[in-house]
Structure 1
Amino acid sequence: MRSAFDFGPYRRSTVGFDRLFDMLENSNTGQAQENYPPFDLIKLGDNDYRIELAVAGFKSDEIDITAQQNVLIVSGKKAEDSENRGNDYIYRGIATRSFERRFALADHIQVRGADLKDGLLAIELVREIPEAMKPRKISISGGEKPASQQTLEAEKA
């Protein structure tokens, strides 16, 4: 289902934002959003972030973290516990159902690492912008030949 908002004028006046507009148009799919496991997004600095997921009851070998291009997928599948078989639970409030959480990552966001401690899975992220994409100062020549043209003439001589 497409959004009621028309992104056509923005698509015509921008370059390279197709994926963003596709995400905005397809965000309202009519399906209920999964809220398990709960998570926090934390900005640690200008280029450092952390995602913390509450995964109580899961061990590190029961959680899988996959970083694909611009998508981080965190999934968990609880292994059958042989020590809990045969137990009669009066109340079971700790959810151990399988889950899959997807996070859309901006360009140049890299996963630095993950740590599971006290029932919280912390995933460290960093934005690493390549040197070629960082802003650079462009010099303006004052009526002289451009530097590249001067270099070509010097090579010919």
Structure 2
Amino acid sequence: MNRSVLFDSPFLLGFEHTRSLIERAAKAAAESYPPYNVEDRGDGGIRITLAVAGFSPDQLEVTVEDRQLTVVGRRNDNAARPEDAYLHRGIAARGFIRSFVLADGMVVEEASLAHGLLHIDLARPEPEKRVLRVPIRTGA
């Protein structure tokens, strides 16, 4: 894997995790199927919509692991019947894996499938404000 010159500076120590996030985001950006939209829903909410025409809910999987949202679509190769004779086949029938890197605190609220579109709603809840009282020791 190519190492970023930016993070190889001796003045940036301990940023391996940030480099890993940037590499994961670059890899995810190189994917082109299926097409998707990202909408700002206000109040920290985001909706990702993927065009997954022809996929049923049992052929789709949405997971979050280590701040990476992954959507997998698996097609059954036996879905096409032998008697089907296409004159034109423009609807993609291949499986896919699409990944998105999530910021700290982002949570997936729900995923829904309607009219060939998979909607994934994300939120960033307000972090609870915590005050830590630090005891003061005396020199005695």
TM-score (norm: length of structure 1): 0.71
Quote the residue 2:3 is aligned against.
Answer: 2
Alignment-derived partner of residue 143 in structure 1: none
Q: Which amino acid aligns with 2:6?
A: D
Q: SS state of the match for residue 44, structure 1?
A: strand
After superposition, the Cα gap between the structure-2 partners of 1:19 and 1:88, relative to the gap in structure 1 and judged at 3 Å, is same
Q: Secondary structure at 1:75's aligned position in 2? A: strand
Number of residue-to-residue matches in the alignment: 134
What's 2:47 paired with?
A: 50
Shift of 1:69: 2.2
Decide whether the 8 Å contact of 1:2 with 1:26 is kept in 2. no
**1:62-101 alignment, distance < 5 Å:** 62-79=59-76, 80-81=78-79, 84-101=81-98
Instruction: Trace 1:2-151 onto structure 2 (pairs within 5 A).
Output: 2-3=3-4, 5-7=5-7, 8=9, 11-12=12-13, 18-24=16-22, 33-79=30-76, 80-81=78-79, 84-131=81-128, 134=129, 148-149=135-136
Unmatched 5+ residue regions in structure 1?
139-145, 153-157
Counterpart residue type for residue 2 of structure 1: R
Q: Deviations over 1:91-121 (max 9, x none)?
A: 1000010100111111111110001011110
Identity of aligned residues (%): 38
Which protein is bigger by CA-based radius of gyration?
1
Give the 3-state SS of the residue equivalent to 2:22 in structure 1. Answer: helix
RMSD: 3.1
Question: Which 5+ residue runs of structure 2 have no aligned equivalent?
Answer: none
TM-score normalized with structure 2 length: 0.78
CA distance, structure 2, for counterparts of residue 117 and residue 93 of structure 1: 21
Q: Is the 8 A contact 2:59 2:74 kept in 1?
A: yes
